[in-house]
Amino acid sequence: MVSAAGSPASVSILRHLRTLGHQVIGLNASPETEVLGRAFCDEFYLAPLAHTPQYLDFLADRLKEVDIFLPFIDEELIAIAEGWNQLPRELVARIAVSEPSVLRDCVDKCRFQGACLDANLPIAPEATAPPAFFKPRNGRGGKGVIEARDNRMFEALQGRNGVIQRAISGEEYTVDAIFDLGGKLLATVARKRLRAAGVSTIGEVGFDENLHDLAERLGRRWTFKYAINFQSIRDADGKDWIIELNPRLAGSAIFSALAGCDPFAATIALARGDAWKGHPKHLRVWRYWEEMAQDISQ
């Protein structure tokens, strides 16, 4: 089962999962996604929003029908963390995520900032002057991010519920990191974002030793399970700064799958108790949208 099904970025993932031989059940809270969801999933359900009281009961019913659930939405991670003890153990085991404490630390950008500083991890420092970026405490896909280029904008951001990080110039990377159920790092793939619109649309994909080492340092602070992703920037001196971490599969993880280190196949294998190895190769990948029309003239 896959959430965010029917969104533009999900189509390649849904196709990939079905190519691997799996039956795919899609979830999305937006009615506008239903046509695409039904076109590319074996089954599709409109879901309640994750912050509503109905979500956990809905999720429990759906989990009874599946072997594994791959959540892609941060609001779902918050709801799962809060409702962890309300769900039967056998159903919780079907959700491909880390423990609740890990989810709470990483989804909350203020908590994550503080935890990285306490662990001496190279998180982008909090800004004391522009240029800077404000990020809401809970946000995803660039929503709510505000760039402060001058003092007036910087002052306007003070007191908002979030973190204001120093703007760092350099090359931006997204790293897919795959951990086993005991928290051991199995593989990483680094994607240099050449162009992005919320999610990466053009990227160079391959192994990067420095970013692999950074993933290991993160794994010593938190016991991750399955696939996670984190964003970083490499500055002119070659230092890698962590921007944020998402304790879930990335919307652009299909790039890593194409490069021979498949986070989707890895997650499914680990959930089954099977061994898995990935061997990434160096690729440049382009993402493009396709069109689908439905006659609504009558």
Q: What are the tens digits of pLDDT across the range 182-199?
A: 999 999 999 997 776 555
- How far is 60 from 246, CA to CA, in rounded Å? 23
Residue 103 domain-assigned? no
Domain count, the chain: 2
For residue 35, give both structure tokens.
Answer: 């046509």
Q: What is the pLDDT of residue 289?
A: 79
Q: Could you say which residues of the chain have pLDDT below 50?
A: none
- How far is 242 from 123, CA to CA, in rounded Å? 4
Residue 113 domain-assigned? no
| Beta bridge partner(s), residue 15 | none
Distance of CA 60 to the CA centre of its chain: 22
- How far is 119 from 195, CA to CA, in rounded Å? 31
Q: What is the pLDDT of residue 197?
A: 59
Distances (CA, A) of 254 to 27, 67, 219, 264, 287: 18, 21, 22, 8, 10
- How far is 49 from 29, CA to CA, in rounded Å? 6
Residue 136 domain-assigned? no
Residue 148 domain-assigned? no
Residue 152 domain-assigned? no
Residue 125 domain-assigned? no
pTM: predicted TM-score of the whole model, two decimal places: 0.92
- State whether 72 and 176 are in the same domain: no
- How far is 47 from 187, CA to CA, in rounded Å? 33
Peptide linkage before 88 cis (omega within 30 of 0): no
Q: What is the pLDDT of residue 200?
A: 61
Question: Which parts of 209-262 fold into alpha helices (H)?
Answer: 209-221, 254-258
User: Beta 25-28 vs 43-46: how paired, if at all?
Assistant: parallel
Last residue of a domain, one of 95, 120, 150: 95
Q: What is the pLDDT of residue 279?
A: 84
Q: What is the pLDDT of residues 114-160, one digit of tens each?
A: 999 999 999 999 999 999 999 999 877 678 899 999 999 999 999 99
> How many Cβ atoms from other residues are within 10 Å of residue 158's Cβ?
9
Spatial contact of 165 and 233, defined as CB atoms under 8 Å apart: no
For residue 13, give both structure tokens.
Answer: 């993932």
Q: What is the pLDDT of residue 151?
A: 96
| 3 state DSSP class of 85 | helix
The whole domain housing 89 covers 8-95
Last residue of a domain, one of 71, 95, 119: 95
Distances (CA, A) of 67 to 4, 28, 90, 92, 139: 18, 19, 10, 11, 29
Last residue of a domain, one of 95, 115, 150: 95
